């Protein structure tokens, strides 16, 4: 194995699932500008996640639509315009 290829600055970091507010702490080298006060009263770096094991359909068994960028609404708007155009041609 190659030597000195892994980072050495691991530290405790809090990860937060933005879809349901679930938080957990783990060691990481992820860089972030935000911090959060943890249960022990200390502040730790905060990494925001769009999805985690508590909100992913594979782990929860429930289909849940996570639309963070408005992609579904954009598609519906485009499809609605297509239908209107098609109805006008008839």
Asked if residue 1 is part of any domain, the answer here is: no
- Which stretch of 12-16, 24-28, 83-87 has the lowest confidence by average pLDDT? 83-87
Asked if residue 54 is part of any domain, the answer here is: yes
Whole domain around residue 55: which residue ranges?
11-89
Band (pLDDT 50/70/90 cuts) for residue 90 is low
Asked if residue 4 is part of any domain, the answer here is: no
Asked if residue 6 is part of any domain, the answer here is: no
Cut 0.75: pTM above it: no
Number of structural domains in the chain:
1
Which ranges of 35-70 would DSSP assign to H, the alpha helix? 57-60
Asked if residue 2 is part of any domain, the answer here is: no
pLDDT digits (tens, 9 = 90+) for 57-68: 666 666 655 556
CA of 8: how far to CAs of 13, 26, 30, 31, 44, in Å?
15, 15, 12, 14, 18
Asked if residue 18 is part of any domain, the answer here is: yes
């Amino acid at each position: 194995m190659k030597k000195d290829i892994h980072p050495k600055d691991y530290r405790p970091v809090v990860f937060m699932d933005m879809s349901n507010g679930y938080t957990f702490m783990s060691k990481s080298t992820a860089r972030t500008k935000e911090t959060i006060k943890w249960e022990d009263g200390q502040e730790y770096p905060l990494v925001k996640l769009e999805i985690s094991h508590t909100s992913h359909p594979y782990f929860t068994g429930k289909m849940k639509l996570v639309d963070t960028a408005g992609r579904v609404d954009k598609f519906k708007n485009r499809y609605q315009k297509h239908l209107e155009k098609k109805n006008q041609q008839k």
